[in-house]
Chains A and B, each alone.
Chain A
Amino acid sequence: MSSKEQDIRIYGIRHHGPGSSRRLLEALQAFQPDCLLVECPADGQQGLDLIGDAGLIPPLALLIYRPDHPGEAAHLPFARFSPEWLAARYATGHQIPVIAMDLPWGIQAQLSGSPIRSDQRDPFSFVARTMGYSDIERWWEYYFEQEHGQEDLFPSIARLMATLREDLQPAEDPDTHLREAWMRRTMREYQLRGYQRIAVVCGAYHVPALDLKFHRKETDTRLLESCPPAWNTASTWVPWTYFNLANRSGYGAGVLSPAWYDLLFEHPQHATIHWMTRTAQLLRAKGLPIPPASVPAAVEMAEALATLRSMKQPGYQELEESACAVLVDGNAQWLDIIREKNLIGDRIGKVPPSIPRTPLQEDFHRCVRSARLTRALETPGKVQLDLDQRKPTNHLASVLLHRLILLDLPWGKLHVRGDRAKGRSRESWTLQWKHIYGMRLLEAGLWGLTLRDASHAYALHRALETERMAEIADRIHRCLKAELPRTASDLATILHQRFAEQQDILDLMQALSSLIAAYQYDQDSWQDDTSLMTLIDRLITRIRIGLPSMMQGVSDEQARTLPGQVRQFILDLRTLDKHDELDSLYAFLLESLLQESGHPFVLGAITRLVYEEGRLEHPAILIRLQDHLRHHDDILTASHWCSGLLSGSETLLIHLADLWHLIDQWIQQLDEAAFTEILPIFRKSVGAYSAGAKRQIALILARDTRQRPLHIHPGPELSEAQQNVLLPVLHHWLYPVR
């Protein structure tokens, strides 16, 4: 019953092209449609119906998935500049229906296996090449997106596409014919329903195929009969990022520069100036002094470059080249540093809680059920959990909790000590669900549809972001516990590629320890993986070479952690049976003690370390201690050294009466100012001793005081007033009030 007044207008767009968006909105305003059909799989209709929700903030992806096969799904990303998004929002704003007109994904996915909406790009690239452009994106940008004229561009796009499809006859896959037949069917259907002004928004390529005059209804029906029955699917929205938009393949993918398009969309007339200003700001934030006058100079050069290359306006490449020459004096590395922010952007979408559950959320609840943790999830307070990994459900629970931690969702906290005491198969956890985890679970949807995939992708993402190698190594260990061996080996590759950049030897030492822990946890599966052992060897070499300069240049604070790391390093070397490395390490340590090269605290602690390891005799320590204490002029160094010697576990030192005696004497001869200065340094080491140990030391000293004269080396006599100040402090130090 198509009446004469019925009007169908087809708008050919480029997915995510901001230029198309602008023109499309203008065209819709002029046309005033009463129904909008968009190129979107029909089984995405459920999600499309929710598009009016004001809480949905792009970038988002319309997710179509199989509820019974959670791994299989398609993401259809939308940015705020995407023509389809703007058209759909226009429609909900004008209370007209938005209809998903494309072949359902539940059918497409069963066809020849081609990825969804694999647009026939060949004709475009043919034109682009003929016109001297190396890639279609730029060609489209110059000819369609950047054109600001008022003329209606859609008819000329349609003509161009018609000519292209006719002349070139690209090798079209049968799926495209099916999809176009389905689109035509939808168009006829809405004509029948009596809509008078139908607007169709689709990829430019399809425009010629959607002219109903040239296609018979019966042919289409016959063609569509060959389709397999559609899968049962559902759809909803998930938050998306510009990063994903730029990287993922899929529906309308390949937006290489979302942040740039965002700018083009927001400031169509002045994108060049805005881009250059933002670049200058980003560079200033990195500490570069960019004078304001340089920004117009850079814009001028970008325009000159565009002229030279016969373009109407500078594109991203011209902008970046000019910024390089004008703003950063040719140091392109600066632009590399800000490129991701500048080109891709860090925008993340939002989905309100009113939107139905995502597959990841469903997978989470499924995992919780099979690990028998439903009750723990519903309990508001803390829940203690002892897991025996040999039981299947307990094992599932452990894997689940570790995977959640990998996703920055620390529902469970693992108790390390309990873990060791009960053996490897036991773990004890404290579980506490917080509301914010629900939000986090929703956001994590962008990393994958199942906990397994999401924790894999997110762990890799974090490994690329972090500056600390120890963090990556930690994740490797956790991935093994979370049964993600592939992730672990991918992380090992990342670590291998990145550790050379790390200057901080402490971090590398921590990373080494975590790696060895991971190695021990799952020795069997690492056994034939030589890459992990090579990585460990490289780390050891790097640490051995970097340790000397590290010893020299540590801050007081780092000095406190370094000895512990060296100790761990020795343990690590011993675990790996690296006797050669161990010997050269000891040789180096003894030499630095001899030469006094390093922070005094570190040297003190190292002295004790080599003593504990049996490489230094008891009298040697006393001689060294005496040596140090005798430097009366440098009290600070002496006390750092001493404090290093005393730090750590007290049990080993407690019986060395001579040692305490020497220290005691030294302290007693200090004047008040010096004493106040060294007190905090000593407290940090000795304050951690147990009360029993402190009492025992006091007893040793008291006994010695009775037996021997107080001063072996006569120091300055203490006045009574001085003694009165000193003794209570000393008393307090030795017998702290509990």
Chain B
Amino acid sequence: MAKRTNTKPPDLADIHQVLRPPAEELYQQELTALVAQDDRHRPPQWRMSPQAVRTYLMGGTLPDGTIITPKYIGQPRIIEAAIATLLTDRALLLIGVPGTAKTWVAEHLAAAISGNSTRLIQGTSGLAEEALRYSWNYARLLQDGPVQEALVPSPVYRAMEDGAIVRIEELTRIPSDVQDSLITILSEKILPVPELNTRVQALPGFNLIATANDRDRGINDLSSALRRRFNTVVMPMPATLKEEVRIVQDRVRADFLKTMKEEIPLPIHEIERLVILFRELRQGRTEDQKEKLRIPSSTLSAAEAISVVNQGLAMSRYFGSGTLTADDLAPGIHQAVIKDPSTDTEIWKEYLDTVIKGRKEWDDLYQACRKFS
């Protein structure tokens, strides 16, 4: 047998050395200040009023001068719709393409409302029903039979008992039949435990925040019965070109640093052009708003722009001149735009021949894409 390792849990003092502490610890000061100065009505089991939750997410200044940093940069109405949903009987489903801060918002909502963002289930295609309900400590089960002490509650189970928020990440990756075990929990607010002949009844304050990626492959759509237990809030794509270019640049720099262990001069010009191209096709309008375009079936999110640039950088580094050119990007663009060849090819050709061709300074890109398609 291998040498026994020291399994002592980390000291409390070590907490700041973990890679990333949960939101409620990271922003403990802000949360405490908000709770202390909140004089509005709090729904049962909520740590603060809905208005204070909004301030926590959108940022602001409290009466005593405490500054609350904004957690979400974007339209306040998105956050308001999310909070309003949690005030009702229905659960909250945050939907959006990758990179729209779904998980981030869900975590901060849970931290603000329940003071605990760690009741979390990561959805995967291999997730079993037990992970949503409860499982058993088999040693205890064999020794004592089915007793409460042998039961291992899931995060959902605990949230129901505590009247708190539980999160499910990537809900649509969970197999449909497993997803459906949430229906009773969400509609009846009851989790039966037939082995013990008992049931858990949710306390007020219990609710669920799920996130899902609606345009990914390998997803299991929610059954309509389950859909009806959720209000859907769509997390929008970055609103402005500038914002999106910044997101792509930052991520490309970080990714490159991580994989290649070196800094590179960012191909700002190429990134900007690529983001414009993606945004135009995604929104069905040219950036100058003058012309309408047909929209292909592909997502063309910021995350895809990032991967096209990364791919292009790798191409230019190993097979090209070393600096990123239109030729390095063209294959990636082609792949990203054309998801369904029967319709997208036509749309892409049309975009090439009408929009790109007309832009003098885009000629290299036009030639590269023409060559490739």
Contacts and interface: CB of A to CB of B under 8 A. Distances in A.
A321 B350 contact: no
A interface majority secondary structure: helix
Interface residues of A, number: 34
B85 A304 contact: yes
Contact of B81 (A321, A501, A538): A321
Given A301-B85, A308-B51, A330-B95, A325 B232 contact: yes
Interface of B: 50-51, 54, 77, 80-81, 83-85, 87-90, 93, 95, 224, 227-228, 231-234, 284, 291-294, 342, 346, 349-350, 353-354
User: Interface centre among A308, A310, A498, A501, by most B CB within 10 Å?
Assistant: A308
Contacts of A305: 80-81, 84
A149 interface: no
A641 to B, nearest CB: 25
Nearest to B40: A310
Interface of A: 289, 291, 293-294, 297, 300-301, 304-305, 307-310, 317, 321-322, 324-326, 329-332, 496-498, 500-501, 538, 541-542, 545-546, 549
A311 B346 CA distance: 50
A545 B346 contact: yes
Given A297-B231, A545-B353, 15 more contacts: A289-B224, A297-B90, A301-B231, A304-B85, A304-B87, A308-B54, A308-B87, A309-B80, A325-B231, A330-B234, A331-B234, A497-B292, A500-B293, A545-B346, A545-B349
Given A300-B89, A301-B90, A541 B353 contact: yes
User: Interface centre among B84, B233, B292, B349, by most A CB within 10 Å?
Assistant: B84
A330 B232 contact: yes
Contacts of B54: 308
Contacts of A330: 93, 95, 232-234
B212 to A, nearest CB: 10
Nearest to A502: B294
B80 A308 contact: yes
A549 B50 CA distance: 54
Contacts of B228: 291, 293-294, 297
Contacts of B232: 324-326, 329-330
Nearest to A321: B81
A501 B50 CA distance: 43
Contact of B350 (A293, A497, A542): A542
B350 A541 contact: yes
B89 A297 contact: yes
Contacts of B95: 329-330
Contacts of A546: 346
Contact of A307 (B87, B93, B353): B87
A498 B88 contact: no
Contacts of A291: 224, 228
User: Interface centre among B95, B284, B292, by most A CB within 10 Å?
Assistant: B292
B292 A501 contact: yes
A325 B346 contact: no
A414 B247 CA distance: 61
B44 to A, nearest CB: 14
A497 to B, nearest CB: 6
A494 to B, nearest CB: 11
A700 B80 CA distance: 83
Contact of A501 (B80, B234, B294): B294
B234 A308 contact: no
B337 to A, nearest CB: 15
Contacts of B80: 305, 308-309, 321
Contacts of B51: 308, 310
A624 to B, nearest CB: 29
Contacts of B90: 297, 301, 326
A297 B84 contact: no
21 contacts: A289-B224, A297-B231, A300-B88, A301-B85, A304-B50, A307-B84, A308-B50, A308-B54, A308-B83, A321-B80, A322-B231, A324-B232, A325-B85, A325-B232, A326-B231, A326-B232, A496-B291, A498-B292, A500-B294, A538-B354, A542-B350
Nearest to B230: A329
B286 to A, nearest CB: 10
Contact of B291 (A308, A310, A500): A500
B208 to A, nearest CB: 15
Contacts of B292: 497-498, 500-501
B352 to A, nearest CB: 10
The 3 tightest CB contacts between A and B, nearest first, are A330-B232, A330-B234, A304-B84
Contacts of A498: 292
B354 A541 contact: yes
A347 to B, nearest CB: 29
Nearest to A493: B290
A294 B85 CA distance: 13
Contacts of B83: 308
